[in-house]
Amino acid sequence: MKASVPAVAVWGRTAPSHSITAVMITDDQQTIVTGSQEGQICLWDLSSDLQISSKEILFGHTASVTCLAKARE
């Protein structure tokens, strides 16, 4: 049985164009990484005054991205 994962919106009036299903913040707290129900991964810049701006969008997954993890060095 396939479990349904609800989308989560974390932005106010300017939400990204994808349904966010996973969120990760980098150790330096300058980049937010989101995974989407549509299979996209987006990178967002986070400024010191908590302003968020889009940086990159990665395509290629054929299923929803429901989990994000960082690689070790």
Q: Give me the number of domains the chain comprises.
A: 1
Considering the domain boundaries, does residue 6 fall inside one? Answer: no
Considering the domain boundaries, does residue 65 fall inside one? Answer: no
pLDDT at 8 over 70: no
C-alpha span between 25 and 63 (Å, rounded)? 22
Considering the domain boundaries, does residue 69 fall inside one? Answer: no
Considering the domain boundaries, does residue 73 fall inside one? Answer: no
Considering the domain boundaries, does residue 14 fall inside one? Answer: no
| Reported pTM | 0.71
pLDDT given at position 14: 63
pLDDT given at position 16: 52
Q: Which domain holds residue 27?
A: 20-59
Which H or E element spans position 25?
strand 20-25
Considering the domain boundaries, does residue 37 fall inside one? Answer: yes
pLDDT given at position 50: 81
Per-residue pLDDT, averaged over 3-24, amounts to: 66
pLDDT given at position 34: 92
How many residues appear in the chain? 73
Q: What is the pLDDT of residues 29-73, one digit of tens each?
A: 899 999 998 888 999 998 888 888 888 888 888 899 999 998 877
- Give the up-direction half-sphere exposure of residue 67: CA atoms within 13 A in the CB hemisphere: 1
